[in-house]
Structure formats: structure tokens, C-alpha cells
Amino acid sequence: MTARILSIGTALPDTRVEQSTLRDLFAAQPGFDRKSQRLVGAAFDAAAIDTRHVVLPQLAGRAADGLGVRDGDTLLMPPTGARNDEYRRTAPALFAEASRAALAGSGYEADAVTHVVTVSCTGMFAPGPDYHLVRDLGLSPTVERYHLGFIGCAAAIPALRLAARIVGADPAAVVLVACAELCSLHWQTSSHPDQIVAASVFADGAGAAVVASGDSSHDGLDLDDFATHVTDEGEKDMAWTVGDSGFEMTLTPEVPRIIGREISAIAADVVGELDRVDAWAVHPGGRSILDRVENALGLDATALAPSRDVLRRHGNMSSATLLFILRDLLADAARVEGDRIAALAFGPGLTVEAAKITVRRAAG
């Protein structure tokens, strides 16, 4: 039995902020010399991002309760505990909003959900997001719950793989997959190039999908196959560790170079014949990553338009981002019955996750 994504819901924090506003704020930090300021300007301007959403209104210059991250134009460095408290306060609502939207389009009521898979790498607490979804959505107290943490930007694909395995073993299962990331909580006011690059791309958002056995009465995305690949290099180039002042992201310039060098062989291995792919859902870790993938695979300039559009409007929302791209592909009337989608995402390791997906349109 093939598992199918029946619907995808998304959610964003209320605060929408221009990339130029964040650039100017970050460049104005005390202790940044002219070289650092030029690096900030170059990184933010080259990111191909127009706007991002954040759970911290102070980043947009608005007064707000909760975590204090700004004193005038000076960004503060709250301790990790305070940042995690803000995650615990704000993340459950985004998980719930995206999940309600996914359920609303799936044809299933909340009491039909049999399994919950939650994903996040930007906070932790127990009972966690999986538990809160049971309470917030009124799910059955007997729902099986799983949480995937610290897999990073690639995590939506392992979550969908787990959902597909569950449905494959139990065709009556209805699996709710929900990803939420609050990357803005972990901004580091450092002039180190890695931290500048991280600050220039990461944003907040949530996505959810309902996965179940498909039938001809409902549009959807069949989850046909999955693969994972660990590259020979990159273990130290993309990393996510817990520091005293938030989670510390390492994202070096080697990441797009490694992906550019290795993605052709990996894609041929895990996706198969590339000329049989009708659409691409590539996680936009940054503009340079998309450029490297496009060039290495010899793709048409429009092939990664869905990924570039999500990056432009929302930034890199870590694990949630891929669900935004798949949502847009599912809603695209140009995607017809039988179209083949190749999904690729990149996480710490450096790990490449891939999925083969087929578009299904309701009969008639």
C-alpha cells in the first residue's frame, strides 16, 4: 500500500520583517568593524531573501513581552534557558496551527489520527510538541507519538519516511507529521562568518502533513521511495550544538561546495534518471546551495523556482521549509497526474535525504 500525503498545512509567526531591516540591525552591532559590516551586507544581500517571519517582534523594532533580545539597536545574548523558555511558550501554537490546516484539507477529523510525528531542532522540553498536539487538537489519548530532534534542515524527509513506513505496515493508519522551527531564538551576535551567514538565512515557521493510504477521490503526493546518503566530508561544516547563549549553528562556505561536488552522483543513485523528473523540491539551505544543485545537475533555470520562491518569501525555516515547497507543488495546477517529483534536503553530517514522489489527482 502506497502512503500518500493528502494535504499540507503551514503556519508563520505574526511578525514579518524585511531582510534589509535585519541586515541593518545586525551590521549595527557594537564591536563590528568595517570588514564585518561589509561581510554582513554581502551575506544578507546575496541570500535572495526578501522577507522572513520571526517569533521575536523586537527584531522588527516592535515592543513585546517575552524574551528580551534587543536594547535599542544592540542585540542581546540571552542565556540558553531563557531562549528555550520562549520556544516552549511559542512553538506549540505553531505546531497546532499548521496541523489544523493540514487536517482541514485531508478529509479526516482529528479523532481519525492514529500516529503523530513531530520534528524540531530549535528547542526541547517534555512533555513535548507531540504531547501538546494531542491536547491542542483533541486527538485520541491513545495516539502513538514520535519526536525527531536535531536532524536539522533535512528532517522533513525522515519524518515522511517514518509516516510512510507506518502506513505501509498498517493501511488503516492516519499519520500527522508536524515540523516547527524557531531559528530566530538562536541568533548569535558574533562577527564570525559562520554566524553571519546563519543570521542571514534562518527564519521561523511550521509545516504539517497528513499521510494515509491514498485513493482516487483525493489529490495528493504518493511517497514512493526514500534514500539517505552521508557524504565523505562535511561533518564539521554543518553542525548544531547547544551553547551557553543559545544553540550555535555552524554553516561554513564548504557546505555548498561539498553539495556541488557530490550531488550529481548522489542524485543519480537515490533519484535515478534525472531526465524523468518533472519537478524538484530542493531544500533551500541558501541561494548558493540551490545554485550548486542547479549547476551540478544541469537543471533548467526554472527547475528550482518553487524552492527559490519559498526562500525569497520566508527564508530557511529549517525542517519546515520542504513542506512549504511540497505544499506549493501540490497546489500547482500545472502539476498533473503522474508527475514525478524529486525531493532533496541537506542536514548535519553532511547528510543528504531524498524522496521520490508522484503527483496524484482526483479522478474526474
* Residues annotated as catalytic (active site), given as ranges: 153
Are 116 and 98 within 8 A, CB to CB? no
CA torsion, ordered 320, 324, 329, 332, to nearest 10 deg:
160
Closest CA to 256 of 280, 275, 233: 233
CA 287/CA 307 separation, integer angstroms: 10
DSSP 276-310: G--EEEE--S-HHHHHHHHHHHT--TTTTHHHHHH
Q: φ, ψ for residue 133 (rounded to 5)?
A: -65, -35
Closest CA to 271 of 327, 349, 353: 353
Count of alpha carbons within 13 angstroms of residue 192, beta-carbon side: 12
Are 100 and 9 within 8 A, CB to CB? yes
Task: Return all residues near 23 (Cβ < 8 A) that are at least 6 apart.
Answer: 40, 41, 44, 45, 200
CA 258 to chain centre: 20
Q: What is the largest CA-CA distance in the chain?
A: 64
